[in-house]
């Protein structure tokens, strides 16, 4: 078994409130935005601030109470890398002053990224490759969003979360992972890499360098797949809904989460929603939620938490961890 020993996160200083959005889009009241997506504000990275800068901030918080020399592997999840090459994780090793005899890799995943990172960490620990893993999820989706895209601007925020994953005694919980690349076109940035012969979706009003999200299709994908993911995760671990103390899903938006909760028949008191002050921070939503739960004293030793991430790709994953 493995455990999450520590979690810290960093939010950029600039804040975009619903009132700010209302000034630019008067047809959308701040109350309507709050009611629709459950978000009152989101943090926005500055023009010069990158996922690496944010990762340094969240990781240095970890090392205030954890010996950085213990880290022997970096897993860095981002879809907004510093460069095409080199790997951002390699630069992070240097910026943090970590040992040179460690592994460091990036992996490109969005909303399922934290769960996948935990799966990778489990493999590294089980294989005897690493004992202390720094798992970082850092994202600046807002840099992909057109200033006039009120829908995506109301949802997404920027953040970085860092966690230490270590071996622990106890139950060895299994992962359930899934992929459906046929949904790639429904959440995509077309231009920026090396593919040139692309076509824009007719519904995409902005530049191919801006993010396009087909909200209804993303919603349908989630509703069709995630209830089954929860059921499968419980079954492969020999557990029932009653055995789980807390359900922490990717914080996409409150409407989707509440719909999922009801469809999956999860009791409201066991289902954590926490995005009002941060928005959808993509791969960082689950660790941010866990850290806030810890700070509020909501998690106690022995609690079982079912985590589920889902979104761009399409990609999804879930597992259970014991506090």
> Cβ neighbours of residue 315 under 8 Å, at least 6 residues apart?
109, 110, 111, 112, 116, 178, 179, 309
Structure tokens at 147: 């200033």
CA–CA distance from 279 to each of 178, 237, 250, 276, 289 (Å)?
A: 25, 31, 11, 6, 11
Phi-psi group of 122: left, alpha or beta (phi > 0 → left; psi -120 to 50 → alpha; rest → beta): alpha
CA geometry: angle 184, 196, 140, nearest 5 deg: 55
**Tokens linked to 89:** 């994780």
In whole angstroms, give the CA distance from residue 46 to residue 35: 27
Active site residues: 111, 250, 280
Q: Residue 207, SS3?
A: coil
Per-position b or e across 257-292, b if 16+ CB within 10 A of its CB: beebbeebebeeebbbbbbeebbbbbbbbbbbbbbb
Beta bridge partners of 165: 4, 133
Beta bridge partners of 188: 212
């Amino acid at each position: 078994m493995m455990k999450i020993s520590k979690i810290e996160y960093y939010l950029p200083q600039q804040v975009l409130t619903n009132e700010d959005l209302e000034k630019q889009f008067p047809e959308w009241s701040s109350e309507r935005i709050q009611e629709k997506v459950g978000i009152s504000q989101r943090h926005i990275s500055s023009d010069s601030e990158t996922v690496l800068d944010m990762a340094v901030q969240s990781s240095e918080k970890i090392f205030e109470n954890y010996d950085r020399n213990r880290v022997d592997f970096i897993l860095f999840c981002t879809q907004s890398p510093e460069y095409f090459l080199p790997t951002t994780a390699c630069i992070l090793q240097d910026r943090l002053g970590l040992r040179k005899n460690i592994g460091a890799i990036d992996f490109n995943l969005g909303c399922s990224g934290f769960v996948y990172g935990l799966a990778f960490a489990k493999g590294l620990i089980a294989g005897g490759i690493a004992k202390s893993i720094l798992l970082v999820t850092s994202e600046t989706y807002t840099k992909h969003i057109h200033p006039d895209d009120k829908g995506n601007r109301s949802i997404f925020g920027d953040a970085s979360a860092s966690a230490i994953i270590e071996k622990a005694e106890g139950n060895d919980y299994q992962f359930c992972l899934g992929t459906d690349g046929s949904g790639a076109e429904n959440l995509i940035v077309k231009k920026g890499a090396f593919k040139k012969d692309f076509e824009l979706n007719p519904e995409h009003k902005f530049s191919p360098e801006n993010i396009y999200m087909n909200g209804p299709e993303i919603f349908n994908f989630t509703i069709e797949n995630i209830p089954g993911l929860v059921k499968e995760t419980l079954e492969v671990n020999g557990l029932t809904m009653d055995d789980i103390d807390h359900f922490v899903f990717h914080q996409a938006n409150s409407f989707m989460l509440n719909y999922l909760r009801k469809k999956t028949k999860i009791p409201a008191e066991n289902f954590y929603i926490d995005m009002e002050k941060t928005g959808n921070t993509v791969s960082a939503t689950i660790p941010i939620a866990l850290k806030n739960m810890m700070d509020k004293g909501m998690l106690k030793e022995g609690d079982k938490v079912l985590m589920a991430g889902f979104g761009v790709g399409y990609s999804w994953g879930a597992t259970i961890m014991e506090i």
